[in-house]
Amino acid sequence: MNHTGNVAAVLALEDGTVFHGRSIGAKGNTTGEVVFNTAMTGYQEILTDPSYCRQIVTLTYPHIGNTGTNPEDLEAASVYAAGLIIRDLPAVHSNWRASESLESFLQRGKIVAIADIDTRKLTRILREKGALAGCIMTGEKADATAAVHAARKFPGLKGMDLAKVVSTKRVYQWNEGTNWGEFQGPKSRPGQRVHVVAYDYGIKRNILRCLADHGARVTVVPAQTPADKVLAMNPDGIFLSNGPGDPEPCTYAIEAIKKFLQTDIPVFGICLGHQLLGLASDAKTVKMKFGHHGANHPVQDIASGRVLISSQNHGFAVDESTLGENVKVTHKSLFDGSLQGIERTDCPAFSFQGHPEASPGPQDVGQLFARFTAMIHQRLASQQSAQSPAASKDGRRAAEG
């Protein structure tokens, strides 16, 4: 793969701000919503997270690309971020797992990217004004005026249904766990695996691994799969994944979730899935000023008072003031007080706004996967108890009495 060398590039924001740098990715132009992510590591996972569809990601850590890229750290089959903005790309990458440089990875994935940008200044602009539409242009003909015009033509993510764009188009099975640390994947628990149907609104691979680690046999279905089709699969639990865009236009998902909430099947949602559970519970969602994007966001577990450090990636949030009496707040952000978790009090459903699977980020909130599978096993135990001969005999005695 050829190095881009000193090919000129321009970054323009809709407010007219222009930055000049050099191209480190594919040739061409890209537009999207410019956001900033404060994670110090995990750039490959960030770029391949489908939740970044139509977003140009600014990484605030100054040195990006030190460890190159590898096939194992992909969160999806391709890069979903619309573009990448960094301060400095090292001339040489070094890591025993690396198979290619970040520059080569971006070019092969046809992702437009720019380096040598004052990311501190850019981040301050985004923090003060909110997420802005932006455009990266590369090459000798990169024109600042044209880039500003292109940025202003971007419609924004409000009202944009991207879940059905990034979702899988077919049903498939997933059984691979992480096979590290205290877990050894599903192989360590033969005969005890529960069936979880996971909606793919932009699901990350590490979410699937975490579900498998906790003893699940996962069936992944497209975002627009009707509830009746999922219920026909006889799931023990239903998972609502992360994903990009505005949750409100995803009416197909909201209607399906409402049907699931009328059953006793445990439901667990994260990120976009959390917002969709809120909408299915008749709450409202709002577009945040600049969202949460990083791997060091503190949230508080309301019940225990514990502070958990979480990975976050969202630009929309459930409006706490619109929650009904049957919805309980479970987690809140210690950065801005925004809602981070909810639980239904009338059915087995709960959700978390951040990413308990991390990748990148801490594992503090990973316990939510264990909670989900515990709810599933509790339901199965109740069903088995109701179907046992002793229970049937007691039922007949009660009827005869």
Q: What does the pLDDT look like over 44-78, one tens digit per residue?
A: 999 999 999 999 999 999 999 999 999 999 999 99
Q: Which residues pair with 352 in a beta bridge?
A: 270, 341
- Please name which of 148, 161, 210, 153 lies closest in space to residue 181, comparing C-alpha atoms: 210
Residue 366 has pLDDT above 90, yes or no: yes
Looking at the predicted structure, is the pLDDT value of residue 391 above 70?
no
- pLDDT of res. 141: 86
Residue 144 has pLDDT above 80, yes or no: yes
Has 275 been labeled as part of a binding site? yes
Distance from C-alpha of 168 to C-alpha of 70, rounded to nearest angstrom: 23
Model's pTM, two decimal places? 0.93
Distance CA 103, CA 2 (A): 9
Residue 2 predicted with pLDDT over 60: no
Locate 50 and state its tokens.
Answer: 């489908």
| Residue showing tokens 């709450």 | 283
Note the pLDDT of residue 205: 97
Question: Residue 393 — pLDDT band, cuts 50, 70, 90?
Answer: low
The annotation status of 272 as a binding-site residue, yes or no, is yes
* pLDDT score for 1: 44
Confirm or deny that 313 is annotated as ligand binding.
Answer: yes
Is the sign of the CA dihedral 172, 173, 178, 183 positive or negative?
positive
Catalytic residues: 271, 355, 357
Render pLDDT for 111-141 as a digit per residue (tens, 0 to 9): 999 999 999 999 999 999 999 999 999 998 8
Residue-level pLDDT at 70? 96
pLDDT for residue 3 is more than 60? no
**Range in 3-7, 280-284, 333-337, 395-399 with the lowest mean pLDDT:** 395-399
Paired sense of beta strands 307-318 and 285-301, if any: antiparallel
Annotation-wise, does 361 bind a ligand?
no
Query: pLDDT (tens digit, 9 = 90+) per residue, 153-163?
Result: 999 999 999 99
- pLDDT at residue 256 greater than cutoff 60: yes
| CATH class of residue range 8-153 | alpha beta
What is the chain's mean pLDDT, rounded? Answer: 94
Strand pairing class (237-240; 194-200): parallel
Residue for token pair 């109701």: 386
Q: Which residues contact 387 (CB under 8 A, 6 or more apart)?
A: none
Q: Please answer whether residues 331 and 341 qualify as being in contact, where contact means their C-beta atoms are separated by less than 8 angstroms.
A: yes
Beta-sheet pairing, 113-115 with 132-138: unpaired
Over residues 187-219, the pLDDT tens digits come to 445 557 999 999 999 999 999 999 999 999 999
Task: Please give the backbone phi and psi of residue 343, each rounded to the nearest 5 degrees, phi first.
Answer: -145, 135
Q: Which residues pair with 267 in a beta bridge?
A: 238, 349
The reply, when asked if residue 51 is annotated as ligand binding, is yes
Tell me the domain boundaries of the chain: 8-153, 163-385
* Options 3.40.50.880, 3.40.50.300, 3.90.1150.10, 2.40.50.140; CATH of 163-385: 3.40.50.880
Q: Is 243 annotated as a binding residue?
A: yes
Phi-psi region of 232 (alpha: psi -120 to 50; beta: other; left: phi over 0): alpha
